[in-house]
Structure 1
Amino acid sequence: MTTLRSSVTRTATLEPHVVDMSEMIEKFALQQLAWTYCHAIDRGDLRLLRSLYHDDAIDDHGPMFRGSPDEYVAWLPSMLANWEATSHVISNMLFLIDGHQAEGELAVLAYHRTPAPGSREVIARGRYLDRYEKREGIWRFLRRSLVLDSMEERSTPIGSGPSLDEGIEKGRADAEDACFTRLAMFGRQRGLPGAPA
């Protein structure tokens, strides 16, 4: 049986150190929070997205948006309406934890495609600089801010032959996405009646 050193983890260092089970658990919970944020944005699940923030949190996307979680969720539909598809991918994740407070630097690649005709791709590379707080045993965002490291915009490539994605179901930013219609537990999480069993 593994004994956890303490219910309060203090690993506010990036230097190599002995990692115990409690630190691994806390860091995994923070990773899950980050991955769930990407899923919620790309699938348009604003209820789930809102649940990831403390009520007194701030989301800071620079000049585009800065405000409370409720304001962020209210603003997102108008911004997401500009895109036919989005894909947010988190790669490098560094977390520093001090008790019930934590900070994270998370590298993000955010892909956006406008609708046809004249479809364009916008690829942003940046970092989320996050502050988290654990309340009642649950980590949530206390402050999420975006730093842009580079951006690329280009026309969507159009091939001359058969499309590689021909016949493959397209992703959607709503409850009709295959994630919810093909995976019963995801469908129930989204609150869909009659989700596959």
Structure 2
Amino acid sequence: MTTGTTRILSELADREAIRECLYRYTRGVDRLDADMIRSAYWPEVEDTHLDFHGDAEAFIAWAFPIMGTMDQTMHMIGNVLIALHGQHADVEAYFYGYHRVTIEGGKRDVIGAGRYLDRFEKRGDEWRIIRRVVVTDWFREYPDSADWAAGLLGQRVDFGGRHPHDPSYSLLKIE
């Protein structure tokens, strides 16, 4: 299946809005920014995510205690396929999630990868997720984590933080 360039050009703004919504979600999860996550989901979203199934507020209540115990997290989005159907879109987006966690008193790195199978809905001039199914395709749990005290290649590192302390909140105007 291919999409012609003329059609992509006519759909470009909608496609970009959908990609931006995916990025808002990952930023919201990594920064523990509930409002950013809310901006990616319609309130009545149906999200099926590992052991979780529920709406936007229930997802935040479920995810934040888990993510809040992690030292660092970073989610990356790639391979985004978008099929527009009027006011709806079917979107498959690959993800990688990098997590530094404390388990049994020691630091470990955990990487999860898979796909977000999303149904987007456009209301007015805005695209958000109305249904999400998370499919895990790969993961790896390492028995340890790097010694971050030495810094990156011996250089001091200023790590990112959570909402509102991460530098992006004072340096950038992202809403």
State TM-score, norm by structure 1: 0.80
Rounded Cα–Cα distance in structure 2 between residues aligned with 1:125 and 1:140: 22
Residue range with higher mean Cα deviation, 42-51 or 125-134: 42-51
- 2:5 pairs with 1:18: yes
- 2:74 pairs with 1:102: no
Residue number in structure 2 paired with 1:82:
69
Aligned-partner SS, 1:34: helix
Residue 22 of structure 1 and its aligned partner are, at CA, apart by 2.6
> In the alignment, is the contact (CA less than 8 A) between 2:73 and 2:100 conserved in 1?
yes
Larger radius of gyration: 1
Q: Which amino acid aligns with 1:175?
A: P
Residue number in structure 2 paired with 1:174:
163
Residue number in structure 2 paired with 1:118:
106
Query: Larger % of helix: which?
Result: 2
How do 1:1-197 residues align onto structure 2 when only pairs under 5 Å count?
14-20=1-7, 21-63=9-51, 65-115=52-102, 118-154=106-142, 155-158=144-147, 162-164=150-152, 166-183=155-172, 185-186=173-174, 189=175
> In the alignment, is the contact (CA less than 8 A) between 2:120 and 2:128 conserved in 1?
yes
Aligned-partner SS, 1:76: helix
Rounded Cα–Cα distance in structure 2 between residues aligned with 1:73 and 1:110: 17
Q: Which amino acid aligns with 1:107?
A: Y
Indicate the RMSD between aligned Cα atoms, in angstroms. 2.0
Rounded Cα–Cα distance in structure 2 between residues aligned with 1:168 and 1:182: 18
Spell out, residue by residue over 1:4-36, the C-alpha distance to the aligned partner (whole angstroms, 9 max, x if none). xxxxxxxxxx41423343311111111011111
Where has structure 1 moved over 6 Å in runs of 4 or more? none
Spell out, residue by residue over 1:101-126, the C-alpha distance to the aligned partner (whole angstroms, 9 max, x if none). 10111010001101495110100010
Q: Which amino acid aligns with 2:96?
A: L
Q: Which amino acid aligns with 1:143?
A: R
Q: 1:150 to 1:133 in 2, by over 3 A?
A: same
Q: Which amino acid aligns with 1:144?
A: R
> In the alignment, is the contact (CA less than 8 A) between 2:48 and 2:132 conserved in 1?
yes
State TM-score, norm by structure 2: 0.89
Residue 82 of structure 1 and its aligned partner are, at CA, apart by 2.5
> In the alignment, is the contact (CA less than 8 A) between 1:100 and 1:135 conserved in 2?
yes
Q: 1:133 to 1:118 in 2, by over 3 A?
A: same
Residue range with higher mean Cα deviation, 24-33 or 69-78: 69-78
Residue number in structure 2 paired with 1:9:
none
Aligned-partner SS, 1:56: strand
